[in-house]
Amino acid sequence: MTRPRKSQVADTTSVLDETGSGINPEDLVKIIANLQKEVENLKQKNNQSETIIQGTYDNVDDDLANIDIHPDKYIKIINLDCYPLNISTEGMGRGRLYRFDEFGDVKRIPYKYLVDIIEHHRNFVKAGKFYILDKNVIRQQGLEDDYSKILTREKIEAILNGNDRDITISLFQSANKAQQEVICQMLIDRRIAGENIDLNIWDKIDRLADMDLEAKYKTTKEYLDSLNSSKESKQD
């Protein structure tokens, strides 16, 4: 039997890369394994980003015709304003009054009262001052279109706590004007309080917002500093 020429014998000692340099097969296996690990890490990061911006809702019925909400059922409502928020069943503070002291406060309100609150605070609903944590209620009250333009608490916090990523700016741009103002004020409050703020994010939001973020920060800080100085001088 004729033996194959040497050039026809597979050389398993090295593999040529794009530059013509030899790569040991064992090293190639390690490289592929590392690349696979990096891909898996990227997938996990993407999943985490998606988890961050998802809201938390009560049970959802996909069939609108089957939605039957008992008048006495308690519905969770969350405050998305940066200041204390008052809502009432008759508007203007009349009727049953519910007060939220700070951003993220959650209260449970009977559905029969919530219906009246929605009716008398339609502007708050559209602005996203408070958020209904029950998708069945959102659908039953015909708020799906309004809520498609409103950021959840999770999305707002993703902006406030986010680093300089495209998703952070995209979330801010997707917010309605009222929520953008809330986010700007919360950023100002955090910076005045000495909390760490990503200045790259600050600069980009400053250019996107309708307000002059940097100017308002300086004005607010100067006012608070003068207020504190006045209090200290009175105590002396």
The better pLDDT of the pair 36, 117 is held by 117
Per the CB < 8 A criterion, the answer to whether 144 and 193 are in contact is no
Q: What tokens does 182 get?
A: 């809330």
Q: What is the pLDDT of residue 128?
A: 97
pLDDT at position 182 over 80: yes
Q: How many CB atoms lie within 10 A of CB 175?
A: 19
pLDDT tens-digit map of 128-163:
999 999 999 999 999 999 999 999 999 999 999 876
The better pLDDT of the pair 5, 101 is held by 101
Full-model pTM: 0.72
> What value does the mean pLDDT take over residues 174-183?
96
User: What's the rounded Cα separation, in Å, for the pair 177 and 96?
Assistant: 29
The better pLDDT of the pair 27, 203 is held by 203
Partners of 85 in the β-ladder: 100
Confidence grade of residue 6 (pLDDT, cut at 50, 70, 90): very low
Question: What does pLDDT average to over the chain?
Answer: 83
Rg (CA), the chain: 28
